[in-house]
Amino acid sequence: MKQPPAPVPLVVDMDGTLLRTDTLLESLFAAARAKPLWLLQRLLSLPWAMARLKQDLTGVAALDAKTLPIYQPLVDYLREQKRLGRILILATGSDYGIAMAVANRCALFDKVLASDGTLNLSGESKKDRLVSAYGIKGFDYIGNSSGDLPVWASARQGWAVNPSVYLRSEIRRMPHVQRFNSDARIDLASYISAIRVSHWMKNLLLLVPLLLDHKQYDSTTLFNVFLALACFCLAASGVYLLNDLLDLGTDRQHPHKRRRALASGALPIQRALVLLAGFWWASWCIAMFLPSAFRVCLFIYLLLMLVYTLYLKNIPFVDAATLAVGYCLRITAGALAAGALVSSWLLTCSGLMFFGLALLKRYAEMVTLRDLMGVNTPVRGYSMDRASSVAGVGISACCVACGLFAYFPLAIAAGEGRLATWMVGALSLLWVAHMWMMAYRGRIQDDPVSFALHDPASRVLGLLTLTASLADI
């Protein structure tokens, strides 16, 4: 009896298809964090040595294949095909090392084809390799990008996973290629969470010099401050995106951060890069309408955050001090945009307060991982046995800041505004005590700002503090 012909092999792409990420881009950002100078030197040879670069990146910035986000519906489909006796082949332009690690994780593929340090297996070279092995129309192919068009042209059947608008228009010309139904949805929530819209509240610090100056400002000045706020909101969102791109590996090992849009694969790296460049470009364009001193302050802020992200964020206490300087730069920028004065007293109080709050965030992470998750690995360079010292330094800094604020210098010695200043200092101290208590109990499992925005006690204390600061008593 004649047996039915065996089904042709099913070839699957990896980046953006099997995985909800791009391993080359991830390796580039991992190398930028680990060895930035080495990466710069290697990129200079990029046009002539792409395959070698991919191989070198695998050695310098090895990715953890076990934590890379996958398209589960596609994996389920491949399991079903495997059960039916289908030969499955993983064919990717990524280096062979990471491709094998992903294949071993899935335990589905009969063969792995990948770049090997000499041949960059993508586009036409991938098509030639598959046609040479299986012939034209001798395989089916699942891909996701325009680089897969030559492969689809030679395949018997094809599927496109989460195709772009451009790719959808191209595959309409290929009747044998159809869309693969996956869970790849990029909704507005992914963008909002990635750019940290809730953290824009921090940029209200630009208004502090105006509130303390007690002057009547004209509409032009207020409009300038509004532009300054927009600048820092856009710039800070770009910083958050860059930070997440450089922290993809560590975020995926964190019990909460692994759900972030970039770490989970909900937001593609390519779109995050477009957002980052767009935000920083728009921020700088808006800054051109503001005083040159403000632009210098904005540039220093961006440079400081870049240095922090690349070099300082894992150095205990230095990271907190750097963040405190970043917040003080916001206050200074607000004063420069409005033409207001900013005193050394205000910067001292602010620096101490934000230094303490930065340590509060680190302490909250340590408590969450140690007491609730049973993890004893260091947090940003802070070993778990230093939790009490982190809390001690942080609480002391916050208390000193509140005390300095309550004792406003000689400018209010005559009594005007004295009670209001004391009330603000006392309420701030009460809020700080509440936040540290919540951190000690393990209630703050994410950013303290996000916690405070949803915490009833923080809302009440914030409203009372705002009322007292606006009072003229």
Per-residue pLDDT for the chain (473 aa), expressed as one digit of tens each? Answer: 344 456 899 999 999 999 999 999 999 999 998 888 888 888 877 666 788 888 888 888 889 999 999 999 999 999 999 999 999 999 999 999 999 999 999 999 999 999 998 889 998 999 999 999 999 999 999 999 999 999 999 999 999 998 888 888 888 899 999 988 755 556 788 889 899 998 898 999 998 888 777 666 778 888 999 999 999 999 999 999 999 999 998 889 887 888 899 999 999 999 999 999 999 999 999 999 999 999 999 999 999 999 999 889 889 999 999 999 999 999 999 999 988 888 888 899 999 999 999 999 999 888 877 765 666 667 777 777 788 889 999 999 999 998 888 776 544 544 455 677 778 888 889 999 999 999 988 888 777 888 888 889 989 988 888 787 766 54
Whether residue 84 is contained in a domain is answered as yes
> Does 199 lie in the same domain as 91?
no
Can you tell me the distance from the alpha carbon of 271 to that of 275, in angstroms, rounded to the nearest whole number?
6
> Does 395 lie in the same domain as 266?
yes
Q: Is 265 left (phi over 0), alpha (psi -120 to 50) or beta?
A: left
> Does 103 lie in the same domain as 203?
no
> Domain range for residue 233?
188-471
> Does 30 lie in the same domain as 175?
yes
Can you tell me the distance from the alpha carbon of 122 to that of 115, in angstroms, rounded to the nearest whole number?
8
> Does 176 lie in the same domain as 192?
no
Whether residue 3 is contained in a domain is answered as no
Whether residue 2 is contained in a domain is answered as no
Whether residue 4 is contained in a domain is answered as no
Whether residue 1 is contained in a domain is answered as no
> Does 346 lie in the same domain as 254?
yes
Cβ-based burial of 380 (10 A; exposed 0-12, middle 13-18, buried ≥19): middle
> Does 390 lie in the same domain as 285?
yes
Domain's final residue, options 180, 201, 227: 180
Determine the Cα angle at 72 with ends 69 and 73, to 5°.
145
Contact status, residue 325 vs residue 301, Cβ threshold 8 Å: no
> Does 433 lie in the same domain as 291?
yes
Enter the pTM of the model.
0.89
Q: What is the CATH number of the domain that holds 20?
A: 3.40.50.1000
> Does 303 lie in the same domain as 172?
no
Determine the straight-line distance between the first and last CA of the chain, rounded to whole angstroms. Answer: 101
Determine the Cα angle at 42 with ends 15 and 62, to 5°.
45
> Does 117 lie in the same domain as 147?
yes
Domain's final residue, options 180, 202, 222: 180
> Does 317 lie in the same domain as 192?
yes
- Identify each DSSP E strand in 50-103 by its residue range: 88-95
Can you tell me the distance from the alpha carbon of 233 to that of 240, in angstroms, rounded to the nearest whole number?
11
Q: What is the CATH number of the domain that holds 294?
A: 1.10.357.140
Number of domains the chain contains: 2
Whether residue 238 is contained in a domain is answered as yes
